[in-house]
Amino acid sequence: VWNLATRDLAEAMNASAATVAADVDEFDLTGLETAPSRIVAPPRVAASPVSFECRLTQTLRLEGADGATLDTWLVLGEVVGIHI
């Protein structure tokens, strides 16, 4: 689920991007409240005014300008539900 990060949500949304163990719940980490999604399993951010429910289509490993692979990934998805 992609959630629009408003100015009021910026600090918590940035904190959700921390590198943490796979078993850490980012909602618990940041204190953000959840709202149920209609189509996909993961919840959305309740306070976000816009959320896109998505299904994964591609995961791409990024490369630096020198061609070396990075430990950074681009995740793409198809929007299957919209909340505004």
Domain ranges of the chain: 2-83
User: How confident is the prediction for the chain on average, in pLDDT?
Assistant: 96
Each residue of 40-71: b (16+ CB within 10 Å) or e?
A: beebbbeebeebbbbeeeeeeeeeeeeeeeee
Under CATH, which number does the domain 2-83 receive?
2.30.110.10
Q: How confident is the model at residue 63 (pLDDT cuts 50, 70, 90)?
A: very high
pLDDT at residue 81, as a whole number: 98
14-51 per-position pLDDT tens digit:
999 898 999 999 999 999 999 999 999 999 999 999 99
What's at 38, amino acid-wise?
R
Given a contact cutoff of 8 angstroms between Cβ atoms, the answer to whether 28 and 53 are in contact is no
| Rounded-to-integer distance, Cα 17 and Cα 9, Å | 13
Amino acid present at 35: A
Across the range 51-77, mean pLDDT stands at: 97
User: Residue 69: which pLDDT band, with cuts at 50, 70 and 90?
Assistant: very high
